[in-house]
């Protein structure tokens, strides 16, 4: 798919990708391209393979078949904001220490953070408006503040690509809107490519350029957010009324009239 880019700006290409665990196959024949500047919302019901795909993109799960090809960005240059566990929310470190840890991939063989890493951590604290929290204990922050800290940490690892796994889960509406606004700014103003897993599809679609919907069969939709809104699959998933005039849809293939 190349709705908004050229072959030269493809950051990620998944081709014929099959993923699974010892218990069995989770995703089969996954095909899609992510271009520089895209904002891709990954949706699907529980158990559809969203987290499995994220693990594969991060290099934590090798494909059973097919390939994931990166161009212009490496797996070490991906910023990742994971779902938080209760233990992680109670992590005993300062905000600055958490953010600085995002620079770990840039250390190479050096075991200590240098001036460049400290400067990057300070820059991202300021970038997300949390510089005044640098010395605060991470465990004492609100959920929205913790997500800002983790986003700053992810930005220490990348200037190109962010993977976000349910970033607004358990946040109140104000914190949710604030975090979406930050992500939108990073994408639109700074050109960072976003891949975001979300159950909050109706809100996420306000900013997404593309939607990737997964099921236990694989990819059931990949295309623009505008096309998704008009599609029968999108209508069902969004629980909205179906329009009369749809483009054609086949399993795993999207065709616009």
Helix (H), strand (E), coil (C) string for 51-82: HHHHHHHCCCCCCCEEEEEECCCCHHHEEEEC
Question: What are 132's two structure tokens?
Answer: 């005044």
17-23 mean pLDDT: 92
Most confident of 29-38, 39-48, 165-174, 232-241: 29-38
Q: Does the structure show a pLDDT above 50 at 54?
A: yes
Radius of gyration of the chain (CA): 19
Q: Where are the domains of the chain?
A: 1-73+160-257, 81-159
Query: Under CATH, which number does the domain 1-73+160-257 receive?
Result: 3.40.50.300
pLDDT, the chain, mean: 85
pLDDT digits (tens, 9 = 90+) for 166-177: 998 878 889 888
Of the two residues 108 and 20, the one the predictor is more confident about is: 20
Q: Does the structure show a pLDDT above 50 at 257?
A: no
Is the distance from CB of 237 to CB of 67 less than 8 angstroms? no
Most confident of 78-92, 141-155, 237-251: 141-155
Q: Does the structure show a pLDDT above 50 at 133?
A: yes
The pTM assigned to this predicted structure is 0.85
Is the distance from CB of 247 to CB of 231 less than 8 angstroms? yes
Q: Does the structure show a pLDDT above 60 at 249?
A: no
Query: 117 falls in which pLDDT band (50, 70, 90)?
Result: very high
Is the distance from CB of 63 to CB of 17 less than 8 angstroms? yes
Ranges of H-type helices in the chain: 50-57, 86-89, 95-100, 115-127, 143-155, 173-188, 201-204, 225-230, 232-238
Is the distance from CB of 165 to CB of 154 less than 8 angstroms? no
Q: List Cβ neighbours of 245 (8 Å cut-off, separation of 6 or more).
A: none
Question: What are 116's two structure tokens?
Answer: 């460049």
Of the two residues 92 and 140, the one the predictor is more confident about is: 140
pLDDT of residue 105: 78
pLDDT of residue 42: 95
Of the two residues 87 and 93, the one the predictor is more confident about is: 93
32-41 mean pLDDT: 96
Of the two residues 161 and 76, the one the predictor is more confident about is: 161
């Amino acid at each position: 798919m190349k709705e908004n880019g050229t072959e030269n700006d493809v950051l990620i290409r998944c081709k014929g990708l099959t993923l699974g665990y010892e218990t069995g196959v989770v995703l089969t024949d996954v095909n899609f391209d992510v271009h520089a500047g895209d904002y891709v919302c990954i949706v699907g019901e529980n158990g559809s393979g969203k987290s499995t795909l994220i693990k594969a993109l991060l290099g934590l799960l090798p494909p059973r078949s097919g390939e994931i090809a990166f161009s212009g960005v490496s797996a070490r240059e991906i910023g990742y904001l994971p779902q938080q566990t209760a233990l992680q929310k109670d992590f005993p470190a300062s905000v600055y220490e958490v953010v600085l840890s995002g620079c770990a991939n840039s250390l190479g063989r050096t075991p200590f953070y240098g001036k460049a890493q400290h400067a990057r951590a300070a820059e991202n604290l300021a970038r997300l408006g949390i510089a005044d929290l640098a010395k605060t204990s991470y465990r004492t922050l609100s959920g929205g503040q913790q997500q800002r800290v983790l986003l700053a940490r992810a930005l220490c690892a990348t200037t190109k690509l962010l993977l976000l796994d349910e970033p607004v889960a358990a946040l109140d509406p104000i914190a949710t809107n604030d975090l979406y606004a930050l992500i939108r700014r990073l994408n639109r103003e700074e050109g960072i490519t976003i891949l975001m897993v979300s159950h909050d599809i109706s809100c996420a679609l306000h900013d997404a350029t593309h939607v990737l919907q997964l099921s236990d069969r694989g990819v059931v939709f990949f295309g623009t957010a505008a096309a998704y809104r008009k599609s029968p699959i999108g209508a069902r998933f969004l629980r909205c009324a179906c329009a009369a005039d749809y483009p054609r849809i086949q399993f795993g293939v999207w065709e616009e009239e």
